[in-house]
């Protein structure tokens, strides 16, 4: 009889965890990990006849999907996409704004809907978090009940103290309100934050910019996937030559200007604090380390990026502050990742030769593990690092072994101590 009673108790615990006892969970995507919509006004001035004709059609539509739009793969329309995605830094207000005549919005805030597929009409090739969400639903999570999405305009970033960042700061305010609402809707339980890539940087900034009392009341755990804590060498490739995610039919030079304009991309350049003086880019007469970033930006022809990098971004990367809540970092390892870029006499308009090192294919190992080294001497910060061999930066959201680890970690955070029940 005791065995039967014990098994019944275990069963009731499992059912409880599957339902009302789950801590609410908020998903925070990475750069490019959610849909983005735009609307063109009369102030929009297209750069070509093709973009003009496209603008007429888009104005008739009203709001349209800016990201992801498969027309970016068609060369004449790639330029139209790029000019609509471009941000501009305004020195007079020390902040970033959209291109004139381009209004943008982020659909489905609070829901996972905008995170599942970047284009719902192309599910097979634009699956972002759909597989991960399916796995969360299998253990009892439900969109809008105890599972929420926090998409954002990933072109924008944040700035160091004393500098305005209208869009990024508003996102942190919206994220805080979502967390508080999710907790209130689930009996006051603190929230699990589950982030991917750039989302981890936003999550950490949210925590350290709010009082410790708030963090301990509303945050149960932060779980990050593939977080580029100290930036990536690949981001220097993006700034120097443009990056097309390996899609050969897209000219990287057509999107380079738009990629350079992204405030969040500046944030993802390698941090001097972590990467140190190691050569990251080598040109015929110049070698660049993370400490040489201002000169690097000048030499690639992006002078307008120097001031915002020096004043807004660099001070923010000096130190990775401890959030005072438990953190689990899950990272892919064992994938060739750009570590040094070699440019020849052709200059920065040509894709470089590369030397590869360890990482997840996008983020270098030293960046993935930056929290481990930064917080090594901390007596109070709880940090767990889970390494996933052979798992890439984006496949961590779909790979079977990776999903098993992620769900196992979420289950563990949610688990109810048998001794406390007894």
Residues annotated as catalytic are: 197, 360, 393
Comparing CA positions, the residue from 313, 269, 36, 303 lying closest to residue 160 is 313
- Which tokens sit at 343? 């440019």
Distances (CA, A) of 154 to 165, 219, 268, 276, 384: 13, 23, 12, 27, 27
**Percent helix, strand, coil in the chain (nearest 5)?**
45, 20, 35
From the number of C-beta atoms within 10 Å of its C-beta (0-12, 13-18, 19+), residue 315 rates as middle
CA-to-CA distance for 374 and 208, rounded, in angstroms?
15
Scanning the structure block, which residue is given the tokens 């995170």?
115
CA-to-CA distance for 297 and 313, rounded, in angstroms?
13
CA-to-CA distance for 25 and 43, rounded, in angstroms?
40
CA-to-CA distance for 399 and 391, rounded, in angstroms?
7
DSSP 374-416: HTTT-SS--EEEEEEET--TTGGGT-HHHHHHHHHHHHHHHPP
Helix H or strand E encompassing 168: helix 166-184
């Amino acid at each position: 009889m005791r065995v039967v009673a014990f098994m019944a108790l275990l069963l009731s615990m499992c059912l409880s965890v599957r339902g009302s006892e789950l801590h609410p969970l908020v998903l925070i995507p990475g750069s490019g990990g959610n849909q983005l919509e735009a609307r063109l006004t009369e102030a929009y001035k297209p750069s070509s006849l093709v973009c003009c004709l496209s603008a007429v059609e888009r104005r008739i539509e009203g709001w349209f999907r800016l990201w992801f739009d498969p027309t970016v793969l068609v060369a004449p329309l790639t330029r139209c996409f790029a000019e609509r995605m471009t941000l501009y830094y305004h020195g007079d207000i020390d902040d970033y704004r959209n291109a004139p005549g381009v209004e943008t919005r982020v659909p489905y805030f609070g829901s996972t809907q905008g995170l599942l597929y970047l284009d719902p009409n192309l599910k097979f090739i634009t699956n972002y978090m759909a597989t991960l969400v399916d796995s969360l639903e299998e253990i009892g999570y439900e969109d809008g009940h105890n599972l929420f999405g926090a998409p954002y305009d990933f072109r924008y970033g944040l700035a160091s103290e004393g500098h305005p960042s209208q869009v990024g700061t508003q996102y942190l305010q919206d994220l805080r309100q979502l967390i508080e609402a999710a907790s209130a809707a689930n009996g006051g339980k603190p929230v699990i934050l589950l982030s991917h890539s750039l989302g981890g940087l936003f999550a950490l900034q949210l925590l350290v910019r709010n009082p410790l009392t708030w963090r301990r009341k509303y945050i149960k755990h932060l779980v990050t996937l593939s977080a580029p804590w100290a930036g990536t060498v690949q981001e220097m490739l993006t700034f120097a030559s443009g990056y097309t995610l390996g899609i050969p039919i897209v000219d990287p030079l057509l999107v380079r200007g738009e990629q350079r304009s992204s405030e969040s991309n500046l944030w993802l350049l390698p941090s001097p604090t972590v990467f140190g003086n190691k050569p990251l880019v080598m040109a015929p007469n110049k070698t660049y380390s993370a400490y040489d970033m201002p000169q690097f930006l000048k030499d690639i022809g992006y002078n307008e990026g120097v001031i915002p990098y020096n004043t807004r971004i660099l001070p923010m990367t000096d130190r990775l502050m401890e959030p005072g809540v438990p953190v689990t970092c899950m990272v892919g390892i064992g994938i060739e990742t750009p570590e040094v870029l070699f440019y020849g006499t052709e200059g920065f308009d040509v894709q470089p030769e590369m030397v590869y090192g360890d990482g997840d294919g996008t983020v270098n190992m030293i960046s993935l593990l930056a929290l481990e080294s930064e917080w090594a001497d901390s007596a109070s910060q709880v940090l767990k690092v889970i390494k996933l061999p052979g798992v890439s930066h984006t496949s961590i959201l779909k790979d079977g072994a990776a999903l098993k680890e992620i769900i196992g970690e979420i289950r563990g955070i949610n688990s109810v101590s048998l001794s406390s029940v007894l």
